[in-house]
């Protein structure tokens, strides 16, 4: 078990290092965006004087390197800064303060996690179940149909799948609401109904990958001698797959599931905008639009951290699920 | 071109037609129900601070529901009192406003003269970024002259002053509690804030005992949902998730119109799309070149192809059908390549090539419009080179800086307001550098009209100014763009809806009802 702990710590360290590199990339990329907050917020009213005033207020006139280290320092102490948009408002009032990025992101992030949770609750069982069935009935009409269906849904852009679902489930048969504007204090049942369409859209996007990996890794094992042995013992095909093949096929499946979960957090931008879902993706788009750099950077960083952490989890889980890795010689 | 009456054409569209055919009586307003609207123009930076308001979501939430101003532009364009009961001036420089009595803020505080003074003062100050600062800084003195009376002294006569006070930035906050009122949204409006999540959603409920009584505010509750994405907004209306949406894409308008549950409302207002030229710079300082362009632009084609018919040709003046002194009967400039070629020759610039900067940040379809201009002008021998500019930073890097570019104005309630925003010599947004050198007469008339209280004389003045701009002005204004919005057939609206701003001047919570 000690080795596992060592591996985890090692990976965590590497993850942090990756995050540091990512932070540099994010910072440079965000600052390379044309136009800045002052210009965007003032729009047609951007006179030289007003622009300079806002830049000075927000510290945008400082050199890039200084701004980076100030940001990095704040981040290390858990202070992601204050949203420009909110700061501008606060200073207009003659006060200080304003809403910090953490306060602004927290409820949105919770919403995104809720959406990801609902999606995962639907997508993972469906994908693994379909994968097992496809392996069991491989090369039958069912297998082919499942493959074609999931592959076509993954091949279409998300917004297209979203509109197809809206057309069939909201416009032609008004079963589900096309608007997913959930808010704090909404009853859980309604929240779930409103989240269903975006969750289904995301499900369609992620199922194929997981299902095909499940199918492939199980089929891969079905040729091995110990499965043949089991078959010769006369065990039912379903039991062979679930009891004998699946445990050994878990590592790659978990890997793919983790990757897809990461995608559910970072890749929801388009879906959230289409369904007007107030998650972190929508906040990200709105913030990029007005060049609210602290929020954009924080969102990017959260996305990066989610990816790194879930990859780490995938690694650890596949180690734990594999006795050979769990007990190295 | 169709002639429109002064207050603009109102196409009541399907509703009137259907009701007329089925013989259903147009039901009267009744209290009750909930208005759910999907609105664009929402930002995560939104707040109840009127100094920062610039787009529909906050204007409809603040001035349209939760807060009030001193005066209000009614749907027919006339000025009525909101928190002011009456006003008077003998010289257009000293204005006495009598305030409404028995008005309370949502927190119970009574409304009085001090609230007016403090609410206006918050737009001043060196650091202020308020767009209404130019209006307020012309007030040299604000005093409480009675229990319910405020007297304003201006630095120069301004006959439109009561109109200016209807600006959506000039909301009334409770004195001494402005900070609190901005944080929590405490106004005197018909609706009291229940919850507000910037860039996401606003919910408010009807105040039980309101000074507007039974003449306005028919809904028990309103919910405004921020939907900046066009398609999502259309879907929300189509699936009945919301009762009303603003800014319908012209391309899908006919599809929505075909749906029996949806009513399209369309009004022509003062919103106009422009191509300003910097008249201080060569070659645009040459009036003959400007005339050549005025004849070389095909306005009707732009209305047909850029607005898909949802607009009206303009005459190079910013004064539109929503304005009081709109000179709609003034002779229309038409596309005439021969005339254009003639003036080009007069200018001695037969082989000129002009760079025209455009980006869709200026208005939807600006690049296409620039290319149409390029094509129509080339018939007359005017060479135009369309430079596509990045949308980011367009207003800082291109507008007011490039000699010839695309732009837009949402228009203003009064002639003087519009002219003094963009056509008065030396003002920061004068996007054609229009000044005494171009037309001393225009600047003279501008000052005269501002101080004039006699309505007939003002009509003469503003008509002459519109003619000067049509004949010599430095801005090509080919079209006024309509405001097109979609409503559920369940909603009732007055026959005339406001054309100064989208969604009945953003006051749908006050003026519309559930049938």
DSSP B333-392: P---HHHHHHHHHHHT-TT-EEEEEE-TTTSTTHHHHHHHHHHHHHHTT-EEEEEEPPST
**Interatomic CA distance for residues A10 and B365, integer angstroms:** 55
Vertex B480 angle, CA B467 and B322, to 5°: 75
Q: Is B124 on the interface with A (CB under 8 A)?
A: no
Question: Do B477 and B315 contact (CB within 8 A), yes or no?
Answer: yes
Q: Using CB atoms, pick whichever of A40, A86, A171 lies closest to residue B239.
A: A171
- Domains of chain B, first to last: 31-67+189-261+489-515 (3.40.190.10), 68-179 (3.90.76.10), 269-482 (3.10.105.10)
Beta strands in B149-237 (DSSP E): 149-154, 191-197, 201-206, 221-226
Tell me what pLDDT residue A45 has: 63
Considering only CA atoms, give the Rg of chain A: 24
Phi-psi region of A111 (alpha: psi -120 to 50; beta: other; left: phi over 0): alpha
- Alpha-helical (H) ranges within B383-454 are 394-397, 415-422, 440-451
Question: Do A256 and A310 contact (CB within 8 A), yes or no?
Answer: no
**Interatomic CA distance for residues A39 and A47, integer angstroms:** 9
B199:A286 CB<8 A:
yes
Whole-Å CA distances, B86 to A325, B165, B171, B274, B316: 85, 13, 17, 37, 36
Instruction: Work out the angle between the directed axes of helices A64-76 and A2-31 (0-180°, nearest 10).
Output: 150
Q: Using CB atoms, pick whichever of B49, B396, B399 lies closest to residue A51.
A: B396
Q: Is A33 on the interface with B (CB under 8 A)?
A: yes
Chain B residues within an 8 Å CB radius of A35: 392-393, 396
Tell me what pLDDT residue A32 has: 81
Q: Is A175 on the interface with B (CB under 8 A)?
A: no
Chain B residues within an 8 Å CB radius of A45: 131, 395, 429
The end-to-end CA distance of chain B, in Å, is: 36
Q: Classify residue B252 by burial, with Cβ atoms within 10 Å: 0-12, 13-18, 19+.
A: middle
**Interatomic CA distance for residues B201 and B499, integer angstroms:** 25
Nearest to B186 by CA among B177, B45, B169: B177
Tell me what pLDDT residue B206 has: 96
Tell me what pLDDT residue B27 has: 52
Q: Is the pLDDT of residue B20 over 60?
A: no
Q: Is B44 on the interface with A (CB under 8 A)?
A: yes
Mean pLDDT of B249-259: 89
**Interatomic CA distance for residues A106 and A109, integer angstroms:** 5
Tell me what pLDDT residue B5 has: 41
From first to last of the 329 residues of chain A, give the pLDDT tens digit: 577 788 888 888 988 899 999 999 988 888 887 767 777 766 666 667 777 777 777 777 788 888 888 888 887 777 777 777 666 544 444 444 456 788 888 999 999 999 999 999 999 999 999 999 999 898 999 999 999 999 998 898 888 999 999 999 998 888 999 889 888 888 999 999 999 999 999 999 899 999 999 999 999 888 899 999 999 999 998 899 888 888 888 888 888 888 888 888 887 888 998 999 999 999 998 888 877 888 888 899 889 988 888 888 888 887 777 777 777 66
Question: Do B336 and B395 contact (CB within 8 A), yes or no?
Answer: no
**Interatomic CA distance for residues B388 and B370, integer angstroms:** 9
Give the confidence band of B366 by pLDDT, cuts at 50, 70, 90. Answer: very high
Tell me what pLDDT residue A86 has: 61
The 3-class secondary structure across A137-168, one letter per residue, is CCCCHHHHHHHHHHHHHHHCCHHHHHHHHHHH
Q: Is B54 on the interface with A (CB under 8 A)?
A: yes
Residue of A nearest to B410 (CA): A44
Question: Do B31 and B220 contact (CB within 8 A), yes or no?
Answer: yes
**Interatomic CA distance for residues B466 and B318, integer angstroms:** 8
Q: How far from the centroid of its chain's Cα atoms is residue B176's Cα? A: 31
Question: Do A197 and A177 contact (CB within 8 A), yes or no?
Answer: yes
Domain ranges of chain A: 1-99+293-329, 113-289
pLDDT digits (tens, 9 = 90+) for B132-189: 888 899 999 999 999 999 999 999 999 999 999 999 999 999 999 998 999 899 999 9
H helices then E strands: how many in chain B? 18, 20
pLDDT, greater one: A86 or B343: B343
Tell me what pLDDT residue A329 has: 60
Q: Which residues contact A165 (CB under 8 A, 6 or more apart)?
A: A197, A200, A201, A204
* Partner residues linked to B244 by β-bridges: B37, B487
Vertex B165 angle, CA B162 and B166, to 5°: 100
Question: Do B490 and B243 contact (CB within 8 A), yes or no?
Answer: yes
CB atoms within 10 A of CB B6: 13
Q: Does an H or E element contain A219, and which?
A: helix A188-222
DSSP B488: E
Tell me what pLDDT residue B465 has: 96
Whole-Å CA distances, B388 to A35, B281, B297, B405, B432: 16, 21, 19, 10, 20
B395:A290 CB<8 A:
no
**Interatomic CA distance for residues B155 and A308, integer angstroms:** 63
**Interatomic CA distance for residues A297 and A121, integer angstroms:** 30
Q: How far is B297 from chain A (nearest CA, A)?
A: 25
**Interatomic CA distance for residues B58 and B72, integer angstroms:** 17
Q: How far from the centroid of its chain's Cα atoms is residue A106's Cα? A: 15
H helices then E strands: how many in chain A? 16, 0
Tell me what pLDDT residue A92 has: 46
Q: Which residues contact B168 (CB under 8 A, 6 or more apart)?
A: B50, B53, B59, B62, B63, B69, B501, B506
B43:A181 CB<8 A:
no
DSSP A45: G
Which residues in B428-450 are b (16+ Cβ under 10 Å) and which e?
A: ebbbbbbbeebbeebbebbeebb
Chain A residues within an 8 Å CB radius of B201: 181, 183, 278
- Per CATH, domain A113-289 is 1.10.3720.10: yes
Chain B residues within an 8 Å CB radius of A92: 49, 51-52, 128-129
What's the farthest any 2 CA atoms get from each other in chain B?
70
DSSP A244: I
Nearest to B238 by CA among B268, B201, B266, B264: B264
Phi-psi region of B329 (alpha: psi -120 to 50; beta: other; left: phi over 0): alpha
Secondary structure (3-state) at B205: strand
Q: Classify residue B406 by burial, with Cβ atoms within 10 Å: 0-12, 13-18, 19+.
A: buried
Q: How far is B347 from chain A (nearest CA, A)?
A: 32
Q: How far is B202 from chain A (nearest CA, A)?
A: 11
Q: Is B126 on the interface with A (CB under 8 A)?
A: no
Q: Does an H or E element contain B483, and which?
A: strand B475-488
**Interatomic CA distance for residues A239 and B323, integer angstroms:** 80
pLDDT digits (tens, 9 = 90+) for B305-334: 999 999 999 999 999 988 889 998 999 999
**Interatomic CA distance for residues A91 and A106, integer angstroms:** 23
Chain A residues within an 8 Å CB radius of B169: none
Nearest to A314 by CA among A265, A259, A264, A267: A259
How high does pLDDT run on average in chain B? 90
Q: Is B131 on the interface with A (CB under 8 A)?
A: yes
Instruction: Work out the angle between the directed axes of helices A141-155 and A101-136 (0-180°, nearest 10).
Output: 160
Q: Using CB atoms, pick whichever of A51, A92, A166 lies closest to residue B49.
A: A92
CB pairs under 8 A between A and B: 125
**Interatomic CA distance for residues B139 and B156, integer angstroms:** 9
Q: Is B58 on the interface with A (CB under 8 A)?
A: no
């Amino acid at each position: 078990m000690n080795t596992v702990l060592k591996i985890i710590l090692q990976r965590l360290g590497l993850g942090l290092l990756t995050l540091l590199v990512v932070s540099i990339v994010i910072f440079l990329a965000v600052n390379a965006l044309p136009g800045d907050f002052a210009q965007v917020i003032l729009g047609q009213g951007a006179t030289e004087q007003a622009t300079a005033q806002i830049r000075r207020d927000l510290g945008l006139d400082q050199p890039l390197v200084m701004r980076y280290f100030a940001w990095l320092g704040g981040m290390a102490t858990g202070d992601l800064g204050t949203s420009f948009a909110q700061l501008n408002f606060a200073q207009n009032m003659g006060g200080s303060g304003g809403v910090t990025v953490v306060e602004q992101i927290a409820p949105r992030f919770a919403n995104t996690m809720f959406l990801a949770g609902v999606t995962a609750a639907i997508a993972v069982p469906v994908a693994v179940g379909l994968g097992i069935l496809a392996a069991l009935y491989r090369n039958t009409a069912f297998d082919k149909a499942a493959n074609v269906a999931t592959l076509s849904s993954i091949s279409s852009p998300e917004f297209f799948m979203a509109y197809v679902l809206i057309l069939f489930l909201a416009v032609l048969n008004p079963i589900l609401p096309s608007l997913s504007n959930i808010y704090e204090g909404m009853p859980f049942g309604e929240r779930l109904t409103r989240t269903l369409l975006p969750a289904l859209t995301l499900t369609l996007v992620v199922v194929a990958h997981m299902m095909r990996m499940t199918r492939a890794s199980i089929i891969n094992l079905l040729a091995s001698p110990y499965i043949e042995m089991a078959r010769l013992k006369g065990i039912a095909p379903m039991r062979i797959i679930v009891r004998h093949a699946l445990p050994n096929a878990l590592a790659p499946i978990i890997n793919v599931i983790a990757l897809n979960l990461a995608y559910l957090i970072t890749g929801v931008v388009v879906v959230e905008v289409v369904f007007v879902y107030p998650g972190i993706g929508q906040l990200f788009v709105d913030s990029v639009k007005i060049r609210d750099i602290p929020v954009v950077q924080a969102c990017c960083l959260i996305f990066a951290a989610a990816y790194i952490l879930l990859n780490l989890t995938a690694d650890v889980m596949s180690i734990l699920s594999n006795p050979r890795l769990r007990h190295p010689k | 071109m169709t002639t429109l009456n002064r207050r603009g054409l109102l196409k009541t569209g399907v509703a009137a037609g259907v009701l007329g055919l089925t013989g259903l009586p147009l039901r009267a307003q009744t209290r009750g129900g909930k208005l759910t609207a999907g609105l664009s123009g929402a930002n995560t930076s939104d707040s109840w601070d009127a100094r920062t308001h610039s787009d529909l979501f906050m204007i409809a939430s603040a001035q349209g529901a939760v807060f009030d101003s001193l005066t209000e532009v009614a749907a027919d364009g006339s000025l009525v009192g909101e928190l002011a009961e009456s006003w008077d001036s003998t010289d257009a420089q000293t204005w006495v406003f009598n305030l409404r009595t028995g008005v309370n803020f949502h927190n119970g505080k009574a409304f009085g003269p001090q609230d007016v003074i403090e609410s206006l003062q918050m737009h001043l100050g060196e650091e202020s970024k308020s767009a209404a600062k130019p209006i307020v800084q012309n007030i040299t003195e604000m005093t409480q002259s009675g229990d319910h009376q405020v007297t304003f002294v201006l630095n120069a006569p301004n006959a439109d002053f009561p109109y200016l006070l209807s600006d959506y930035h000039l909301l009334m906050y409770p004195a001494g509690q402005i900070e609190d009122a901005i944080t929590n949204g405490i106004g005197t409006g018909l609706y009291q804030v229940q919850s507000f999540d910037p860039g996401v959603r606003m919910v408010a409920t009807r105040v039980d005992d309101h000074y507007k009584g039974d003449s306005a505010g028919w809904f028990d509750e309103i919910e405004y949902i921020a939907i900046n994405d066009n398609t999502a907004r259309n879907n929300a209306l189509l699936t009945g998730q919301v009762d009303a949406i603003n800014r319908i894409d012209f391309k899908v308008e006919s599809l929505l119109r075909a749906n029996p549950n949806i009513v399209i409302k369309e009004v022509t207002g003062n919103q106009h799309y422009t191509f300003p030229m910097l008249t201080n710079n060569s070659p645009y300082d040459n009036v003959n070149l400007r005339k050549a362009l005025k004849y070389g632009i095909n306005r009707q084609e732009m209305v047909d192809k850029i607005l898909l018919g949802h607009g009206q040709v303009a005459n190079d003046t910013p004064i539109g059908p929503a304005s009081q002194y709109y000179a709609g009967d003034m002779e229309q400039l038409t596309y005439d390549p021969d005339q254009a070629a003639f003036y080009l020759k007069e200018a001695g610039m037969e082989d000129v090539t002009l760079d025209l900067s455009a980006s869709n940040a200026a208005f939807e379809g600006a690049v296409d419009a620039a290319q149409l201009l390029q094509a129509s002008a080339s018939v007359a021998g005017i060479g135009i080179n369309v430079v596509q500019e990045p949308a980011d930073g367009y207003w800082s890097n291109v507008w007011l800086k490039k000699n010839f570019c695309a732009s837009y104005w949402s228009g203003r309630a009064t002639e003087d307001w519009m002219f003094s925003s963009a056509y008065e010599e030396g003002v920061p947004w004068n996007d054609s550098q229009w000044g005494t050198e171009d037309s001393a007469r225009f600047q003279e008339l501008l000052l005269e009209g501002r101080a004039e209280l006699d309505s007939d004389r003002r009509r003469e003045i503003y008509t002459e100014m519109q003619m000067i701009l049509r004949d010599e002005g430095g801005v090509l204004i080919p079209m006024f763009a309509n405001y097109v919005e979609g409503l559920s057939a369940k909603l009732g609206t007055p026959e005339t809806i406001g054309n100064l701003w989208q969604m009945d001047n953003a006051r749908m919570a006050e003026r519309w009802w559930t049938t």
